[in-house]
């Protein structure tokens, strides 16, 4: 057991969970005081001694299930499915009983694998697969392209084809011994189903080993796939997972911002001033001089089109920006379809996720169930809120510029840009579609300092990076 705990400890470390030697020793002490038959108690004991951060709990839970019981449950399920597929009239106990009676009078020398297949011995099959996996070096698997290779290697190491040949010869001998043809056919069907189940189980074992040994790689792969998935194709499950990815990206940006702030407080090294100051020391730089430049935090005004075509862009943009509030002096949020209204108070009085949901429903300040009219929204902002825009304000517009052939009122956007520090437009449509149909993006472009396509989280992250750095 201690060897298995050490292996599990190394697996956690490989996945990025910080487990010290002292904590591993604490786990040994804890296991000495409890029964290993109680799975949940065993799991809680290891987690209590090994996991220090709440962020590591999901990784621990996943690796615990993979390491301690993942393959056993998989093998058992595969065999159960094989038996379930034999049909309602299939009586396993009766067939195995008849088989045992015939085998007692036969002199057979079957391999361990053939005996395990014949007796449906789950524990023995698991032991043979794990042993063959160790001998083939499956713990060195690195990517999904190697799953087929290692699965074949494990089956070869087990002698799977040889065991299958032994079982076929056994069926012929049973037929010669006088076993009813109906029983022989049932046994042949059973053995084929069991062998297919073991093949699938071996592949599943290889996939689990890949997941165990490269947990961090697979997590990065899943996260990257999600980051590159179009907002238009997100499911409810994708949106839930995307929140976690946004939080990680926001935390990464926070760290970058924090490092930049520290560098700015210290200032940039000034070589000329340093040399002049140290002339009295013969040019030896005893005193370093840094040139400091105070950088003001920008203010941010977000104008979100909350029509269904861009709702997911708005959702994640708002989550990003409100996760990075320390990068801005002040953030004000506005939503519009045709009417425009301010929803800043929603983010002050509610959790960010609840506030986003409320904002995308119109926040009880506008009617979201109408046709888009960007011109009307910009006119309302120019009339009621332009005084809040100054040389420190970045105005961020999120929308597809589909104006339903209404008057675009380009001059309103021009006046907003004149007063703002800069005006950035995020559009989920491809630039090739700008200006076609009812799109008036081509008319707004001359008054945008930055206008970019943003249809997935990777592009959105890059945009936020430019916004705050």
Please tell me the total number of residues recorded for the chain in this structure.
469
The pLDDT, as a whole number, for residue 25 is 80
Token pair recorded at residue 450: 């930055």
Say if strands 393-398 and 450-453 run parallel, antiparallel, or are unpaired.
Answer: unpaired
CA Rg value for the chain = 33
Chunk the chain into consecutive blocks of 10 residues (it has 469) and report each block's average pLDDT, rounded to whole numbers. Answer: 73 76 78 70 80 78 71 78 73 69 68 82 85 86 84 91 87 78 82 88 86 65 72 73 70 65 65 82 78 71 82 75 73 89 85 80 78 93 93 89 92 94 88 90 93 82 69
- Where b means 16+ CB within 10 Å and e means fewer, 379-411 reads bbbbeebeeebeeebbbbbbbbbbbeeeebbbe
CATH dotted code for 241-268+297-468: 3.40.50.410
Phi/psi region, residue 159 (left: phi>0; alpha: psi -120 to 50; beta: rest), is: left
Report how far residue 75's alpha carbon sits from residue 157's, in angstroms, rounded to the nearest whole number: 18
Q: What are phi and psi for residue 69, nearest 5 degrees?
A: -145, 0
Rounded Cα–Cα distance for residues 358 and 371 (Å): 19
Q: What is the reported pTM?
A: 0.53
CA distance 362 to 360: 5
Name the one residue in this structure whose structure tokens are 């990206």: 249
Pairing outcome for strands 299-305 and 422-427 = unpaired
Paired tokens of 317: 């943009």
Looking from the CA of 296 toward its CB, the CA atoms found within 13 Å total 11
Residue spans per domain, the chain: 53-218, 241-268+297-468
Q: What is the token pair recorded at 249?
A: 């990206």
Helices 181-213, 147-158: inter-axial angle, 10-degree rounding: 130
Task: Encode burial over 331-360: b for 16+ CB neighbours within 10 A, e otherwise.
Answer: bbbbbbbbbbbbbbebbeeeebeebbebbb
366, containing H or E segment: none
Residue of 400, 382, 387, 310 whose CA lies nearest to 340: 382
Place of tokens 């409890």: 34
* Torsion from C-alpha of 225, 228, 232, 233, nearest 10 degrees: -20
Q: What is the predicted pLDDT for the residue at 409?
A: 94
Cα separation, 460 vs 462, whole angstroms:
5
Sorted by sequence, the CB contacts under 8 Å of residue 366 that are 6+ apart come out as: 335, 336, 337, 338, 339, 340, 341
Beta strand 268-269 pairing with 290-291: antiparallel
The count of C-alpha atoms lying within 13 angstroms of the C-alpha of 278, restricted to the half-sphere facing its C-beta, is 14
Six-digit token string for 278: 């140290």
Per-residue burial over 84-113, b = 16 or more CB atoms within 10 Å of its CB, e = otherwise: eeeeeeeeeeebeebbeeebeeeeeebeeb
How far, in Å, CA of 183 to CA of 214, rounded? 46
What is the DSSP code (8-state) at residue 306?
-
Interatomic CA distance for residues 316 and 307, integer angstroms = 15
36 φ, ψ to 5°? -80, -5
Q: In what order do the strands lie in the sheet with 299-305?
A: 340-342, 330-336, 299-305, 393-398, 422-427, 450-453
Structure tokens at 17: 């969970």
Q: Is residue 423 within 8 Å of residue 447, measured between CB atoms?
A: yes
Q: Are 290 and 221 in contact (CB under 8 A)?
A: no
Residues 6+ apart with CB under 8 A from 351: none
Taking a C-beta distance cutoff of 8 angstroms, is the pair 400, 309 a contact? yes
Which pLDDT score, from 0 to 100, does residue 107 have?
65
pLDDT given for residue 205 in this prediction: 86
Q: How many CA atoms lie within 13 A of 38 on its CB side?
A: 10
């Amino acid at each position: 057991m201690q060897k298995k705990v050490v292996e599990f400890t190394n697996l956690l470390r490989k996945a990025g969970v910080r487990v010290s030697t002292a904590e591993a020793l604490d786990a040994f002490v804890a296991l000495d005081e409890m029964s290993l038959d109680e799975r949940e108690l065993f799991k809680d004991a290891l987690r209590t001694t090994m996991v220090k951060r709440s962020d590591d709990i999901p990784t621990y839970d996943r690796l615990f299930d993979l390491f301690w019981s993942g393959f056993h449950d998989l093998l058992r399920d595969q065999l159960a499915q094989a038996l379930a597929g034999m049909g309602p009239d299939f009586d396993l106990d009766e067939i195995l009983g008849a088989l045992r009676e015939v085998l007692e009078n036969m002199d057979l020398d079957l391999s361990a694998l053939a005996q395990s297949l014949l007796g449906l011995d789950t524990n023995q099959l698991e032991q043979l697969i794990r042993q063959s996996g160790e001998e083939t070096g499956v713990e060195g698997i690195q990517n999904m392209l190697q799953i087929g290779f290692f699965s074949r290697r494990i089956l070869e190491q087990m002698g799977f084809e040889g065991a299958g040949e032994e079982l076929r010869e056994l069926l012929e001998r049973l037929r010669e011994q006088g076993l009813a043809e109906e029983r022989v056919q049932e046994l042949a069907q059973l053995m084929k189903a069991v062998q297919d189940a073991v093949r699938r189980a071996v592949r599943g074992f290889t996939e689990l080993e890949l997941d165990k040994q490269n947990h961090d790689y697979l997590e990065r792969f899943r996260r990257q796939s999600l980051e590159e998935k179009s907002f238009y194709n997100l499911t409810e499950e994708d949106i839930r997972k995307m929140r976690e990815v946004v939080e990680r990206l926001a935390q990464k940006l926070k760290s970058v911002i924090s490092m930049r702030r520290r560098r700015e407080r210290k200032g940039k090294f000034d070589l000329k001033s340093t040399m002049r100051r140290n002339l009295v020391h013969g040019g030896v730089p005893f005193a370093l001089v840094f040139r400091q430049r105070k950088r003001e935090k920008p203010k941010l005004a977000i104008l979100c089109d909350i029509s269904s075509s861009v709702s997911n862009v708005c959702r994640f943009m708002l989550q990003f920006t409100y996760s990075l509030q320390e990068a801005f002096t002040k953030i004000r949020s506005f939503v519009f379809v045709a009417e425009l209204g301010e929803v800043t108070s929603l983010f002050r009085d509610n959790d960010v996720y609840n506030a986003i949901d409320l904002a995308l429903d119109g926040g009880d300040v506008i009617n979201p169930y109408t046709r888009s009219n960007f011109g009307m929204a910009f006119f309302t902002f120019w009339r009621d809120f332009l005084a809040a825009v100054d040389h420190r304000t970045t105005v961020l517009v999120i929308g597809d510029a589909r104006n339903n052939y209404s008057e675009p009122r380009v001059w309103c956007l021009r006046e907003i840009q004149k007063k703002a520090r800069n005006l950035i437009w995020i559009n989920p449509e491809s630039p090739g579609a700008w200006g076609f149909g009812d799109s008036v993006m081509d008319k707004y472009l001359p008054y945008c300092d930055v206008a970019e396509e943003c249809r997935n989280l990777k592009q959105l992250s890059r945009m936020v990076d430019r916004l705050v750095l």
